[in-house]
């Protein structure tokens, strides 16, 4: 019996005589061979999620089964690549089909002709198991690619083939005749196994002061960035991709505008790795499924990206997967669900929305990798685009229950040119306390006290702002006005950060501590001076305040003497006020 299409509804199609098929099987539809995945089976009728535009597909068109699950191909050559939602290399597609890619276009996901210099670490007679390391190749100047035994495979090594090899040539042969290659496949919807999950006790340092100081995300944690249109979600994720301490970056553009992805690519190509001076793209992978690409492939894109990220995590690297945005992914899920005529949940989203989001974020973590005693981490950060900035909508609320870190963006802050526009009143980090020991040991003993003092200043400012809006700031006591001024100095001099300034765009932790220590010292001296009777107007009109606010933009060369000079100047200034 031949399988054929009996119904087409948008990105979903139904085919008959599919009783031998299975969930997740990859199929090809029609004369053009459009890629699809079986997502439901009822007797011999299979519902297929089509990853390409179904225009022209009609009942009676043939369906070809592959007998394989929907998987990505993993191996050397991924880094620096740009792929669509189903891991087709866009550069190779563009060279073959131009700017408008034909439907059904198929190209190898990894380069079959490239030769990699394989350096084995195993020898004949040695036993290997799934996840164990066979050897390595130099994938880029920045990253050593470890060749691992596929999960589910074990045995005794019989032959080893060192030297220049392609990914289609075996590098190891086992005693039972099993040949192992530099490439392997993995089902995108199935998390890669690990030996043990470890507690997250250290942060992912991003170089963004408001994040690293007040709301740090754990290395191997999960965070979300909800915010309305224009609040800076994409800019913040791109900044984290460029300047965080992660070794590998997987950026997933899920339903974003094409010009934003083009800008991201151009910027990443121009950036250099601070440690080696090499292009940052040599440790970055982009998954691009823009808003004009098929909606079904958008649903698969975040799984494609996180599976590739898990693969590099299993090599022992610290990996960050950035999904921009999960709201577009949820919209694709909603459209596919409606085509399948499922009962809708809140706001039309499928009832299993929270479960799918949870399964995605739970793939983050710091782990001991399977097959060897080596640790790696995967940090997942997802942007959420709630309509109208309404954080009570289903995607934000479902994500909120899964994430340990919440960076709530505020459109009002964005309109004030306050970047990052993270609202310190609504954001939180559930893992901050677990990482306090790491901050104490690696940043300074004073760090927890300084952060607590900063939070207290911001909290006091929030309380006084309500009073100021009622009676007016001029009617308040001097010490209350001084508390408002202290909050302003913290916000503008420390939390506010430029995304384009060559110095301020990224602030290392040692500089963060020195800057905050100088600012808090000034605020303490100002508060004490006002308490002794000094006029606040004499203080805030002093050029010292402006210099303090500009301290974050000072070049790193000579920063310590500059800070010490500033401290000495404001001590002398407050002494003169007291004498006056």
**What band does 323 get if pLDDT is binned at 50, 70 and 90?**
very high
Which residues, 6+ apart, have CB-to-CB distance to 440 below 8 Å?
Answer: 447, 448
Among 155-164, 249-258, 313-322, which is the least confidently predicted range? 249-258
Instruction: Say if residue 126 is in the same domain as residue 163.
Output: yes
Ramachandran angles phi, psi of 25, nearest 5°? -70, 140
Q: Which H/E stretch holds residue 536? A: helix 536-540
In a domain, 85, yes or no: no
In a domain, 90, yes or no: no
Instruction: Say if residue 329 is in the same domain as residue 200.
Output: yes
- Alpha-carbon distance 577 to 547, whole Å? 18
3-state DSSP call for residue 43? coil
Instruction: Say if residue 391 is in the same domain as residue 451.
Output: no
CA angle 416, 430, 223 (to 5 degrees): 60
Q: Highest mean pLDDT range out of 1-5, 267-271, 302-306, 340-344? A: 302-306
3-state DSSP call for residue 476? coil
Instruction: Say if residue 340 is in the same domain as residue 230.
Output: yes
Note the maximum CA span of the chain.
Answer: 100
Residues paired with residue 194 on neighbouring β-strands, in sequence order: 369
What Å distances lie between residue 509 and 206, 239, 503, 550, CA to CA? Answer: 9, 16, 14, 18
Question: What is the average per-residue pLDDT within 347-353?
Answer: 92
**What band does 475 get if pLDDT is binned at 50, 70 and 90?**
confident
Q: What percent of the chain has pLDDT over 90?
A: 63
Instruction: Say if residue 396 is in the same domain as residue 515.
Output: no
Instruction: Say if residue 278 is in the same domain as residue 393.
Output: yes
- Alpha-carbon distance 254 to 420, whole Å? 22
Instruction: Say if residue 367 is in the same domain as residue 233.
Output: yes
- Alpha-carbon distance 386 to 168, whole Å? 45
Question: What is the average per-residue pLDDT within 41-70?
Answer: 91
Question: What is the average per-residue pLDDT within 318-335?
Answer: 91
**What band does 580 get if pLDDT is binned at 50, 70 and 90?**
low
**What band does 554 get if pLDDT is binned at 50, 70 and 90?**
very high
Question: Does the pLDDT at position 1 exceed 70?
Answer: no
Question: Does the pLDDT at position 46 exceed 90?
Answer: yes
Token digits of residue 132: 């164990």
Pairing relationship of beta strands 318-324 and 248-254 according to DSSP bridges = parallel
Instruction: Say if residue 320 is in the same domain as residue 425.
Output: yes
pLDDT, residue 200, reads 86
Beta-carbon count within 10 A of 52 CB: 25
Among 69-78, 113-122, 494-503, 513-522, which is the least confidently predicted range? 494-503
In a domain, 78, yes or no: no
pLDDT, residue 495, reads 96
Instruction: Say if residue 336 is in the same domain as residue 203.
Output: yes
Q: What is the CATH number of the domain that holds 46?
A: 2.40.30.20
Question: What is the average per-residue pLDDT within 391-402?
Answer: 91
What does pLDDT average to over the chain? Answer: 90
**Residue 361 DSSP one-character state:** H
Pairing relationship of beta strands 405-406 and 248-254 according to DSSP bridges = unpaired
3-state DSSP call for residue 489? helix
In a domain, 98, yes or no: no
Pairing relationship of beta strands 63-69 and 116-120 according to DSSP bridges = unpaired
**What band does 274 get if pLDDT is binned at 50, 70 and 90?**
low
Residue that finishes a domain, picked among 429, 459, 484:
429
Instruction: Say if residue 416 is in the same domain as residue 292.
Output: yes
pLDDT tens column, 361-375: 999 999 999 988 899
Residue that finishes a domain, picked among 138, 165, 193:
193
pLDDT, residue 7, reads 93
- Alpha-carbon distance 327 to 384, whole Å? 5
Instruction: Say if residue 346 is in the same domain as residue 484.
Output: no
- Alpha-carbon distance 329 to 332, whole Å? 5
Q: What is the CATH number of the domain that holds 514?
A: 1.10.1140.10
Closest residue by Cα to residue 411 from 432, 385, 434: 385
In a domain, 76, yes or no: no
Question: What is the average per-residue pLDDT within 542-559?
Answer: 91
Ramachandran angles phi, psi of 112, nearest 5°? -80, -20
Residue that finishes a domain, picked among 395, 429, 463:
429
pLDDT, residue 350, reads 93
Instruction: Say if residue 396 is in the same domain as residue 516.
Output: no
Question: What is the average per-residue pLDDT within 50-62?
Answer: 90
pLDDT, residue 173, reads 96
pLDDT, residue 457, reads 96
pLDDT, residue 55, reads 87
Token digits of residue 28: 């090809």
**What band does 93 get if pLDDT is binned at 50, 70 and 90?**
confident
Alpha helix segments (H runs only) across 385-534? 394-402, 411-415, 436-442, 447-471, 478-490, 509-531
Which residues, 6+ apart, have CB-to-CB distance to 472 below 8 Å?
Answer: none
In a domain, 214, yes or no: yes
Question: What is the average per-residue pLDDT within 137-158?
Answer: 94
Pairing relationship of beta strands 375-384 and 222-226 according to DSSP bridges = parallel
- Alpha-carbon distance 365 to 219, whole Å? 8
- Residue 455 domain boundaries: 447-579
Q: What is the CATH number of the domain that holds 129?
A: 2.40.50.100
CB 253 within 8 A of CB 113: no
pLDDT, residue 484, reads 93
Q: What is the CATH number of the domain that holds 387?
A: 3.40.50.300
Q: What percent of the chain has pLDDT over 70?
A: 99
- Alpha-carbon distance 37 to 68, whole Å? 10
Peptide bond connecting 101 to the previous residue in cis, omega within 30 degrees of 0 = no
Ramachandran quadrant class, 463 (left: phi over 0; alpha: psi -120 to 50; beta: rest): alpha
Give a three-class secondary structure readout of 216-227. Answer: CCECCCEEEEEC
- Alpha-carbon distance 286 to 238, whole Å? 12
Total count of domains within the chain: 4
């Amino acid at each position: 019996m031949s399988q054929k299409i009996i119904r087409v509804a948008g990105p979903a199609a139904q085919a008959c005589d599919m009783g031998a098929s299975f969930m997740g099987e990859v199929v090809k539809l029609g004369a053009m061979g459009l890629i699809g995945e079986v997502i439901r089976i009822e007797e011999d009728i299979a519902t297929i999620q089509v990853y390409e535009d179904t225009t022209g597909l009609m009942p009676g068109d043939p369906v070809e089964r592959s007998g394989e699950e929907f998987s990505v191909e993993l191996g050397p050559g991924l880094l620096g690549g740009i792929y669509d939602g189903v891991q087709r290399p866009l550069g190779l597609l563009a060279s073959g089909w131009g700017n408008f890619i034909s439907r059904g276009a198929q190209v190898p996901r990894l380069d079959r002709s490239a030769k990699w210099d394989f350096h084995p670490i195993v020898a004949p007679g040695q036993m290997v198991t799934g996840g164990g390391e066979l050897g390595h190749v130099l994938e880029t100047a920045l990253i050593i690619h470890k060749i691992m035994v596929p999960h589910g495979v074990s045995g005794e090594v019989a032959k080893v083939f060192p030297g220049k090899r392609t990914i289609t040539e075996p590098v190891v042969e086992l005693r039972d005749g099993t040949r192992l290659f530099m490439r392997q496949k993995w089902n995108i919807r199935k998390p890669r196994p690990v030996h043990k999950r470890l507690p997250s006790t250290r942060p992912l340092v991003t170089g963004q002061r408001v994040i690293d100081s007040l709301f740090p995300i754990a290395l191997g944690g999960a965070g979300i960035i909800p915010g309305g249109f224009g609040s800076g979600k994409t800019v913040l994720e791109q900044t984290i991709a460029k300047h965080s301490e992660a070794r590998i970056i997987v950026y997933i553009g899920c339903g974003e505008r094409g010009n934003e992805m083009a800008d991201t690519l151009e910027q990443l190509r121009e950036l250099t790795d601070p440690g080696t001076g090499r292009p940052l793209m040599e440790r970055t992978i982009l998954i691009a499924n823009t808003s004009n690409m098929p909606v079904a492939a958008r649903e698969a894109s975040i799984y494609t990206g996180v599976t590739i990220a898990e693969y590099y995590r299993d090599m022992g690297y610290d990996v960050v997967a950035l999904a921009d945005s999960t709201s577009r992914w949820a919209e694709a899920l909603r459209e596919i669900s409606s085509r399948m005529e499922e009962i809708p949940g809140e706001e039309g989203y499928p009832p299993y929305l929270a479960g799918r989001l949870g399964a995605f974020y739970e793939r983050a973590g710091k782990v001991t990798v399977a097959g060897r005693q080596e640790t790696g981490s995967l940090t997942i950060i997802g942007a959420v685009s709630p309509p109208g900035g309404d954080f009570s909508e289903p995607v934000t609320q479902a994500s909120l229950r899964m994430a340990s870190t919440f960076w709530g963006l505020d459109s009002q802050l964005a309109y004030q040119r306050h970047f990052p526009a993270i609202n310190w009143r609504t954001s939180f980090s559930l893992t901050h306390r677990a990482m306090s020991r790491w901050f104490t040991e690696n940043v300074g003993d004073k760090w927890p006290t300084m952060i607590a003092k900063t939070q207290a200043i911001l909290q006091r400012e929030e309380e006084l702002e309500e009073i100021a809006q009622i009676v007016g700031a001029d009617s308040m006591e001097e010490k209350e006005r001084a508390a408002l001024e202290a909050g302003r100095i913290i916000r503008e001099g420390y939390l506010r950060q430029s995304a384009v300034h060559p110095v301020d765009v990224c602030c290392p932790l040692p500089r963060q501590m020195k800057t905050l220590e100088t600012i808090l010292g000034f605020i303490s001296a100002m508060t004490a001076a006002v308490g002794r009777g000094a006029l606040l107007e004499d203080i805030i009109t002093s050029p010292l305040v402006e210099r303090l606010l500009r301290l974050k933009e000072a070049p790193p060369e000579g920063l310590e003497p500059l800070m010490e000079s500033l401290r000495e100047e404001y001590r002398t200034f407050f002494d003169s006020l007291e004498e006056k």
